[in-house]
Amino acid sequence: MHIEHTDESSTQRRPNVCLIDDDDIMLSLFTRIIQRSGCDVEAAKGPKEAMAALSSTTFDLVICDLRMPDMSDGEELLGIIHKSFPQLSIVMMSCDVPSEVHERLIAAGASDCVTKPITVATVSTLINTLNNPELCRLPDAS
């Protein structure tokens, strides 16, 4: 009788992140940072691209800019994503997130709010807080 041993690491996969920002330079910079953290990333420039990506691909995490001109702001997009994909972890990012805005975003469905610029350590921490055992756990890059 042959008993097959399965290596736990073979069942793990790289985290897949959807990055949403309206600024090409920020998309490029944050895409590289997210990739360096050990994740796959799909960049979406604004709400329309984001919804198309979210409808066609499975993501573990969304990182979304709070300020976008195509909508009143990222808060509106947060509500749409949370309603359409309630199981998805959504992290909002901005240069400044006052405590009352932070509380409102969490109440609207955000998993967390982070301050720009994001770093490899920030992304690693966000991925490691996801409750998904099939994901690779990323090393802390602090």
Q: In the 8-state DSSP scheme, what is residue 46? A: S
Domain coordinates of the chain in residue numbers? 14-128
Q: How far is CA 74 from CA 35, 69, 84, in A?
A: 23, 9, 15
pLDDT digits over 26-68, tens only? Answer: 999 999 999 998 899 999 998 899 999 999 999 999 999 998 7
CATH architecture of 14-128: 3-Layer(aba) Sandwich (3.40)
The token duo for 25 is 């330079």
pLDDT band at 2 (very low <50, low <70, confident <90, very high): very low
pLDDT digits over 70-104, tens only? Answer: 656 788 899 999 999 999 999 999 988 888 989 99
pLDDT, average across residues 131-142 = 66
Q: Supply angle C-alpha 37, 107, 29, rounded to 5.
A: 25
Which pTM was predicted?
A: 0.85
